[in-house]
Chain A
């Protein structure tokens, strides 16, 4: 028997779970845990400058590794500052365990200093959450939290630990084994057979890959299925990299900012094979008019996604990897020359347009210049807005987990701390964070953490001194009444970065921007690369919110 405090017990359970880096920010109600953590020789703590930064650092580690990662905050404002990062992880199915301090149990419900009901607040934005009532409960709660976070469709799990529980002594006989994921749902072989038959009989099938393909580690299987069945494949924003962008069967990203030909290919499909995607409104536009002629096969590990937006003709509740493994031997090798010729024809007539892509001072040109200077080992994170869509459209993603973006929640401020998390988890990689001036200011304080940790993160700041996507929507849909979307003053981002101790490069002043960019990207350590872009450049094509995907503007 070992006698431990609740705080020491949490640290031991995290160590046994294989957690090696956690991001957090201490405060009164979590100090017993921090005291115990200071004695750990296995866990490295990264001190964020704002709890939301810590939340996104954990997300960055989880997004590149696929393994649940941990962030820590104190009670009250510390916990509420994590809310956005938790909601973001919930919508993008990112496995994460969040530990918050809480006021002592005797003070819960008294409106004590820094007391907030974070358990209640996070009910709608977590996969599950716990309020721990005794140190002994931690022996079940901590492994359960990891198991839930990683099982089935991944997601965030919060553990709220009152201060007295952290200090309470508990006798521990045997430690529970580290958590493993639950068994995947039983495969419905009849459904697999039907799906295979529909694929073999279809004339114009399209494979529609979502983030679930990446989460399940099924990207190579999805590519194999496409090649075997002669299936053109489209990817959601979350799935970019699942199939190499330059693969002959890739028809690129679908939806609001997809290429015209991609949305036209889907319009003509007679069978849609949806794998680990959820028919999100930004991907499918007006649901009733999406793939109007197609039967639907839908594979998802989350049963509540099946038939949610579109009724599937064959619904397969399964882990994507297991379903594709079962499907592959049943799908005939098919050349499908007529359909692929039609797809090629649409692609030639309605291609993705990249104006000025050879000019590194243009938005697409800058994305391409960054890609030209890097190889596929680099990780690419973004913030949210126009720059995010330009990168999604133009960057040649070639491997899963290469691309980290806030899809479901669309969180400005996501980019920098998430890129830092990626660099913490995989320090051998170069991590690029494309950002916009609006997003960057939302977690700019993490430059201090970046400088302190010396992480290999390059921020490519596309500055139009505006909330560009708002400005764009006002131009297109609100009679050009551009209100509250342009900034009247402009900070000096180069000075700000240097003030935090992060080297900076102003591409505007570089004689040879391409060479300067390549040099900055290939030097180890952090760097801010500032580039002014034209505010009047919009993201095209664009499907107006609520319209059918074929009603695209521009591009």
Chain B
């Protein structure tokens, strides 16, 4: 009798999506979010974060692959205490496109 192992992960797709997160602004927030993606082996292609309005909140933009695990990933992000809400955008969202000039 040979011990069986779990099925391999299905191939990831190459379509991208942009996620927009409203979060509380304190030093641990980026760590919570990046750690969540990293420990689930979910690659983040791009990340932007700036404080908004009075500095109590920040907005984080994430560029990620539209993998079959994305829905589960978003549900995990929504569980984080410091994440106030999550919005989906298509890959064509201009936030990362307008920054392309800085990454030539």
B98 within 8 A of A: no
How far apart are B33's CB and chain A's nearest CB, in angstroms?
Answer: 10
Q: Is the CB of B3 within 8 A of A307?
A: no
Within 8 A of B (CB), among A499-555: 544-547, 553
Chain B residues in 8 Å Cβ range of A349: none
B6 engages A281 (CB within 8 Å): yes
> What range describes how many residues of B lie at the interface?
20 to 34
Q: Are B28 and A124 in contact (CB under 8 A)?
A: no
A148 CA to B81 CA, complexed, in Å: 8
A303-B78, A304-B75 are known; give 6 further A-B pairs, CB within 8 A. A127-B81, A286-B4, A288-B7, A307-B72, A544-B1, A544-B4
Interface residues in B60-80 by Cβ distance below 8 A to A read: 71-72, 75-76, 78-80
Q: A120-B31, A131-B28 are in contact. Are A302 and B79 (CB under 8 A)?
A: yes
Interface string of A114-149 (1 = CB under 8 A from B): 000001100110011101000000000000000010
CB distance from B9 to the nearest CB of A (A): 13
**How many positions in chain A have a CB within 8 Å of any CB in the partner chain?**
26
Q: Given that A304-B72, A304-B79 are contacting pairs, would A546 and B5 also be in contact in the complex, using a CB cutoff of 8 Å?
A: yes
Is B50 positioned at the interface, with any CB of A under 8 Å from its CB?
Answer: no
Judging by beta carbons under 8 Å apart, are A119 and B28 in contact? Answer: yes
The CA-CA distance from A480 to B72 in the complex, in Å, is: 40
Which residues of B have CB within 8 Å of A128?
80-81
Distance in angstroms between the alpha carbons of A128 and B71 in the assembled complex? 21
Q: In the assembly, what is the distance between CA of A547 and CA of B27, in Å? A: 44
CA distance A181 to B27 in the complex (A): 26
B78 — which chain A residues lie within 8 A by C-beta?
303-304
Is there a chain B Cβ closer than 8 Å to A356's Cβ?
no
3 closest Cβ contacts across the A-B interface?
Answer: A546-B4, A304-B75, A477-B3
Q: Is A308 among interface residues, defined by CB-CB distance under 8 A?
A: yes
The residue from B35, B72, B75 contacting A123, defined by CB atoms under 8 A apart: B35
* Residue A476 CB within 8 A of the other chain: yes
Question: B89 an interface residue at 8 Å Cβ cutoff?
Answer: no
Q: Is the CB of A123 within 8 A of B32?
A: yes
Give the CA-CA distance A307 to B69 in the complex, in Å: 11
Q: How many Å from the CB of B70 to the closest CB on chain A?
A: 12
Q: Per-residue 0/1 for A465-486: is the Cβ within 8 Å of any B Cβ (1 yes, 0 no)?
A: 0000000010011100000000
Q: List 20 A-B contacts (CB under 8 A).
A: A120-B31, A123-B31, A124-B36, A128-B81, A131-B27, A286-B4, A286-B7, A288-B7, A302-B79, A303-B78, A304-B75, A304-B76, A477-B1, A544-B2, A544-B3, A544-B4, A545-B4, A545-B5, A546-B5, A553-B1
Which residue in chain B gives the minimum CB-CB distance to A542?
Answer: B1
Chain A: CB-nearest residue to B39: A124
Contacts of A304 in B (CB 8 A): 72, 75-76, 78-79
Given A124-B39, A304-B75, A546-B6, residue A476 in contact with residue B1 (CB < 8 A) = yes
1/0 per residue B35-74: CB within 8 Å of A? 1100100000000000000000000000000000001100
**Residues in chain B near residue A473, CB distance under 8 A:** 3
Known: A128-B81, A308-B72. A546 touches B3 (CB 8 A): yes
Give residues 294-313 of A contacting B (CB, 8 Å): 302-304, 307-308
B82 to chain A, nearest CB (A): 8
Residue of B nearest to A477 (CB): B3
CB-based nearest A residue for B32:
A123
Q: Which residues of A contact B5 (CB under 8 A)?
A: 545-546
Tell me the complex Cα distance, A121–B43, Å. Answer: 20
| CA distance in complex: A127, B75 (Å) | 14
Collect the chain A residues with CB atoms within 8 Å of residue B80's CB.
128
Instruction: Write the chain A residue with the least CB distance to B34.
Output: A123
- Give, as a whole number of angstroms, the nearest-CB distance from A395 to chain B: 28
Residues of A within 8 A of B75 (CB): 303-304
